[in-house]
A and B are shown apart, each in its own frame.
Chain A
Amino acid sequence: MKRSISFSVNGDTVQVEVHPHWNLLRVLREELELTGAKQGCGEGECGACTVLVNGLPINSCIYPIMEVEGKDVLTIEGLASRDGALHPVQEAFLEKAGVQCGFCTPGMIMSAKALLDANPDPDEEEIRQALAGNMCRCTGYIQIIESVKHAAALLSSIEQEA
């Protein structure tokens, strides 16, 4: 039996018919065609499916869809501004080569964004802790950490200008 639920994705309100046992990732990818978040394991271990729900990073592959009712979901597709300008975290991942194959990147960037929202000037240990649930096989994490540090600097200079 499908049920109807309503929530916000990247600022747009959506109404979707879902089976209650579905997870958020399935609905994002298959019903809403937002394929940015990836399924790397389906068991909440690799973090490739990370999106923000009410600002907090979650593994959408094990997040029950019925829990999303009325909440705000932010995916990688909603991070750049509508005019196409990259978010500083996205920019930083390109500038510091935090990206290689790109499969973990959407999840990694969303975890980094959540960290920087809560802690604008994290040290290396705090970054490593925040990204502990996001696996990457290409980079060895070092340039990802440099990217997050760079993003923090970009964000702080934007704030100072404002």
Chain B
Amino acid sequence: MGERLMDELFVGKSFARMDKDKVIGRANFINDITLPRMLHAKILYSARPHARIKSIDTSKAEKLMGVRAVLTGFNVPEVKVGFLGDQTPLKKDKVRQFRDEVAAVAAIDEDTAEEALDLIKVEYEDLPAVYDPIEAMKPDAPLVHEFDARGKPRRNNLLPLPWKLEAGDVRKARESSKYVVKDRFSTQWVHQTCMGTSGGIAEFDVNGNLIFRSVTNVPFGGKDRLDMFLKNLGLKGRSRVLTPYVGGSFGSKLDTDIYEFILVLLAWKTGCPVKIVFSRKEEFLASPPRQPVIATVEQGCDSNGRLTFRNIDMILDNGAYTSWGATTPSVMMIPVSSLYRVPNVKFQATCVYTNNIYAQAMRGYGNPQATFVIEQSMDQLAEASGIDAIEFRKINANVPYEKTPMDLKITTCPMSECLEIVEKRLNWSEKRNQKTSRGVGVASFLHVGGGARVYLSDAQGIIMKVDDEGKVTVITGGTDQGQGSETIIKQMVAEATGFRPEDVSIFQGDTEVCPWDVGTHASRHAFITGHAVLLAGADVKRKVLDLAARWMPEMIRFDLSKRARKDPNFQVPLLDFSPLMDTNNLELRNAEVFLKDDPENKHFRLPVAKILRRAHLVGTGKGEMVVAEAFYDPPNEMLNREGKGNLSCCYTFGAHGVEVEVDEETGLVTILNYVAAHDVGRAINPMLVKGQIYGATVMGCGYALTEEIQTNHGRVMNPNLLDYKILTAKDKIPIDPVIVEPIEPSGPFGAKGIGEPACVPSAPAIVNAIYDAVGVRIKDLPVTPEKLLKAIKEKKAKEQ
């Protein structure tokens, strides 16, 4: 499957994007959908970071004209949600953070719902709060949760998720190391900041089934959680998830969010469709971002610069409740154990409840934090051992077909090649160690590239329906968040079936119709969909050729005799039809069936649409049509109790190299050159692959330099796009994307996943470059001008 087919027509080419509706204003996002009788919801959030709710008075809000329902924890069943079951949609006993949902209103329009919120009076009794995870770990810290989901008393703020991984003997390795470095690093809260904010529409049909229009990128996981919620509410219906266009996700739509359960409650109580779309402020305050970590890293190497051990301890601020953020250590383990060859590894991560906002998934899922700390430590160790930073990485680079301490089975691995590309294109040897306010830095990464078995299934189902007009409808459970799957699916289907991209249409976004898929996450979509397409596509092709073998001789004879009837000068040629009757002799390409060994034979070539129509409309009661299906579940493994296992079918590698200039008067960092070398297995569509590299790299640069959710006693202080600084068109980053294609044997058409990785190495590469430029290392993200200027001044003061 991984072999490159030299005569591929569609895969490997930069087809233009095919989502035309987005450029004409006809792409419907949640925001754009209005249903008959639809009500609008608003949520009242907590005014305290940690407090008992003494009373909630909703009487005035209920009386406001146009209000249809006012819900609190006191008038709905108490149903726990979230994967640790540590919250209810509407809070009753106490609030644990400013984003706690205290009441919800459904009204005839947004203005009325907003007005009703102002009329709700909540009385709180303040409790001592804790905002620092280190403080929260102390024995006398205030308890964020007094009881766990089962009602068992809790004694501390630690989550019952003891993330650990150990391989080899770190203690012994440390003793035998020639050089050892140890340091502490920390990262900040950052927000996915999708351009489309969160939202949804819930309604119940006449049979009591829930129809939920959702921005989720895991429709079937979302459906499971909604079904469970209905069951726990005592409702008999089942749910159906519809996914319209999503205005970006970057991980933020992986879990079913609290507002979605609230919409269900409001739709249930009112009997009407209920819609919510978050304001931008609400998006920053009440949608869960990427969590910060505090990491202690120790690494050692021998006299030749070979890594001997790595020991990392992480503390994650979990916030007040638990979403997927708490599971990111499972992905951190990948770089911790397997970024570069390191025989002895120890990793521990502790998630701690605080009265802060809580975290979700975000592009890279823990990998950016882990790689940030590892790659700075790598630079420190290179310096300690007196080896050039790129040379040091090459000495320790991962190699093809190695098995790592985490039991990851690496297949293709062009890591050294990527490092060499960075070295060459950045003009490394000339630019390094110049100490002229300009400097260069590098960081590598590895990430899952062939799905990730984080659930019992990592599968996707696909159905291909071929109609009598020669059109292929692909019905898939996968969803798109903008990466361009509608374009590459058409390319891959055309390649696999022998039809053309313009013959293919895609139907997705309806759990009632589409076959199951685990969701668009872990950079898995192109990889898994590609395999499902290859399986179903081969079946389509086989079935079409079977029809062709049975119908083509008769059809060609008929056409020839028809022509002879019309044209007396036409002599019907004497043809041997027997080769046509064996499917093995036939080929289907570009929507035409012809003889494999005689493609120039103009008599034996028919448009596939014609054959399908003939086979369908036979007039005898024996018509046939072509439908194929596949359910592809990759041969990867779940992690075992020790945190080991081959999580993905393959892993993707790369290196980013950055040249920066630091203004020592202002602390401002300018990126002069940025080389992003990426192993993608094989680019299905090089232009779209570059789109992923560009977008994720710029996101990574924001992580490094500008982005930070600032909190003060648990309150988000910058919930707007003016103060939360994502990069804009004015922030020019001259990215040179280099696509490396080792053709992955386990990948569909040789491809690996590429959605996440480019945001992984940006921050350490930039921080390493800043160190090369001015000799100061910023260990706490982001590298704001203030921080950098302070560090430069401190360094200068020390030197004097």
Which A positions have Cβ atoms within 8 angstroms of B? 29, 34-43, 45-46, 48, 75-77, 79-80, 86, 90-91, 93-97, 99-106, 109, 124, 127-129, 131-132, 134-145
A102 touches B19 (CB 8 A): yes
Q: Is B732 among interface residues, defined by CB-CB distance under 8 A?
A: yes
B524-543 vs A, CB cutoff 8 Å, 1 = contact: the mask equals 00000000000000000000
In the complex, what residues of B have CB within 8 A of residue A96's CB?
A: 16, 687
14 inter-chain pairs at a CB distance below 8 angstroms, sorted by A residue, are A39-B31, A41-B280, A42-B280, A45-B722, A75-B25, A97-B17, A97-B484, A100-B248, A100-B484, A101-B481, A102-B29, A103-B29, A103-B245, A142-B735
The reply to whether A101 and B245 contact each other, CB–CB distance below 8 Å, is: yes
Q: Tell me which of A35, A105, A127, A128 contacts B32 (CB under 8 A).
A: A35
Contact mask for chain B residues 670-702; partner A; CB cutoff 8 A; 1 contact, 0 none:
000000000000000001101100111111000
CB–CB B695/A100 < 8 A:
yes
Question: Which residues of B lie under 8 Å from residue A105 when comparing CB positions?
Answer: 22-23
B698 touches A141 (CB 8 A): yes
Count chain B residues whose beta carbon lies closer than 8 angstroms to a beta carbon of A.
55
Q: Is the CB of B699 within 8 A of A99?
A: no
Q: Among the listed A34, A41, A95, A128, which residue makes an inter-chain contact with B729, where contact means beta carbons less than 8 Å apart?
A: A128
Taking a contact as CB atoms under 8 Å apart, the answer to whether B691 and A100 are in contact is yes
Contact B729 A94 (CB under 8 A): no
A47 to B280, CA, bound (A): 13
Stretch at the interface among B150-158, B193-201, B233-241: B193-201
B280 touching A90, Cβ below 8 Å:
no
Cα(A144)–Cα(B697), bound, Å: 15
A143 to B194, CA, bound (A): 18
- 4 interchain residue pairs of minimum CB distance: A36-B25, A101-B482, A140-B698, A102-B22
- Contact B279 A140, beta carbon cutoff 8 Å: no
| Chain B hits for A37, CB < 8 A | 25
Most buried by B among A94, A95, A144, A145: A94
Task: List the interface of chain B (C-beta within 8 A of A).
Answer: 16-29, 31-32, 192-197, 245-250, 279-280, 481-484, 687-688, 690-691, 694-699, 720-722, 726-730, 732-733, 735
Q: Would you call A140 and B733 a contact (CB within 8 A)?
A: yes
Q: What are the residues of chain B within 8 A of A91 when measuring CB–CB?
A: 23
Given contacts A97-B691, A101-B481, A124-B732, 18 further A-B contacts (CB under 8 A): A34-B25, A35-B32, A36-B24, A38-B247, A41-B721, A77-B26, A90-B24, A95-B17, A97-B16, A97-B17, A97-B688, A101-B194, A101-B249, A105-B23, A137-B192, A137-B195, A139-B695, A143-B687
A122 to chain B, nearest CB (A): 12
| Cα–Cα, bound, A38→B30 (Å) | 11
A100 to B699, CA, bound (A): 14
Which residues of A sit under 8 angstroms from B27, Cβ to Cβ? Answer: 102
Closest B residue by C-beta to A104: B195
- Give the nearest-CB partner of B280 in chain A: A41
CA distance in complex: A103, B32 (Å): 11
Chain A residues, CB < 8 A from B481: 101
Say whether A41 contacts B720, CB under 8 Å.
yes
A135 touches B721 (CB 8 A): yes
- The answer to whether B729 and A132 touch across the interface, beta carbons within 8 angstroms, is yes
* B726 x A79 contact (CB < 8 A): no
Closest chain B CB from A108 CB (angstroms): 9
A134 to B726, CA, bound (A): 12
Assess the A94–B20 pair: CB atoms within 8 A.
yes
Supposing A97-B691, A103-B247, A140-B733 touch, asked if A135 and B482 sit within 8 A by C-beta, the answer is no
Within 8 Å CB of A101, what residues of B? 194-196, 245-249, 481-482
Residue of B nearest to A142 (CB): B694
A82, B385: Cα distance in complex, Å: 69
Q: Looking across the interface, which residue of chain B has its beta carbon closest to that of A40? A: B195
Please state if A140 and B735 are interface contacts (CB–CB under 8 Å).
Answer: yes
